[in-house]
Amino acid sequence: MADSAPLWTAAALPVLLVPAALAVACADARSAAPAREVLRLLVQQPRRTVAADTLATRTGTVLLPVAAVLAAAVVPLGSTPVSDLGDGVVWFNAMEALAWAAVWLAGWGPGSTLSAVGGYRFLAQGLAYEIPHMLALTTAALGAGSLRVTEIADAQRGLWFAVWMPAAFALYLLSAAAMAFWGPFGQPAGRDLARGVASELTGADRLLLLGGRRLLLLTSAAMAVPLFLGGGHGPLLPGWAWTLVKTGAVLALLLWLRRRLPGVRMDRYTELAWVVLTPLAVLQALVVAVVVLP
């Protein structure tokens, strides 16, 4: 069991994650436009709809990045996370569930039809991706015989889980993009809804929602490293460097795939998730169980 990082790292975590998420946004846009957009939103005058529920809107927009940062607390940099919880996998998944509530509140709060439809789209998308996602997390934990994230990473000293659990790894990456409603899974903030959940948000509220999406994507990519890619283990480089290299590789793969995958209609993704992805995730978990339980 690894020791947790010093207490001050809990305060430093969002300071490190925010510029990293902005760098991911700039890499995705292939320009500095996201950085300029941040500055514009910071000085933009807030605008409210007539029937807005300001408390619900503000709670949702603040909760999304907070949930992403709290999820990152159990992701080890090298071999040391901010908090080495014994049930770190459960904690990570619970913070993702908070993101569900956050996005729905951000969509419902403005009292706008398009915004509310975007929020409900995210709930529908969540019902589609969450079961395969949970099974992918469970499969990694099953392979290591532990819910502690550092012990899952240590269990891959000989062989990465991504090698003998390829279906779980692929499903995890797919659900990570869906959780951040990003790329082909961007329907909750789709153009057909005038940006959906973000359509009525301005200024800091919009910045928090869009920033929260990037933080979720970044945190999910980082979590793939201890779950499936051996964590910080590797030759020559220190553990923290391997974690950064592997996280960068996962993000690069997601960015590359985004430009090559078409947008997925909600009903088709839901059908795909329940008919194909969930049975595939169950089959992968059963194979791992047969291997490790004897």
Q: How confident is the model at residue 1 (pLDDT cuts 50, 70, 90)?
A: low
More confidently predicted of 41 and 51: 41
Distance CA 67, CA 82 (A): 15
Per DSSP, 274 falls in state I
Distance CA 219, CA 235 (A): 24
- Give residue-wise pLDDT tens across range 157-207: 889 999 989 999 999 998 888 888 777 888 888 777 778 788 888 888 999
Burial (CB count <10 Å: 0-12, 13-18, 19+), residue 90: middle
- The residues spanned by each domain of the chain are 6-290
* Residue pointed to by tokens 């569900």: 100
Q: What is the pLDDT of residue 4?
A: 63
Distance CA 150, CA 62 (A): 29
Q: Which of 152, 168, 179 is nearest to 88 (CA)?
A: 152
pTM of the predicted model as reported, rounded to 2 decimal places? 0.89
Residue 6 pLDDT more than 80?
no
Q: How far is CA 290 from CA 25, 91, 139, 167, in A?
A: 41, 26, 12, 16
Of these ranges, 7-21, 55-69, 119-133, the one predicted with the greatest mean pLDDT is 55-69
Assess contact for 185 and 125: CB atoms under 8 A: yes
Q: Which of 257, 86, 275 is nearest to 185 (CA)?
A: 257
> Percentage of the chain surpassing pLDDT 90?
39
* Residue pointed to by tokens 């990694």: 140
- The DSSP result for 228-273, as a single string, is HS-TT--SSS-HHHHHHHHHHHHHHHHHHHHTTSPP--HHHHHHHI
Assess contact for 70 and 95: CB atoms under 8 A: yes
Q: What is the pLDDT of residue 194?
A: 78
* Residue pointed to by tokens 């459960």: 90
* Residue pointed to by tokens 């899974």: 185
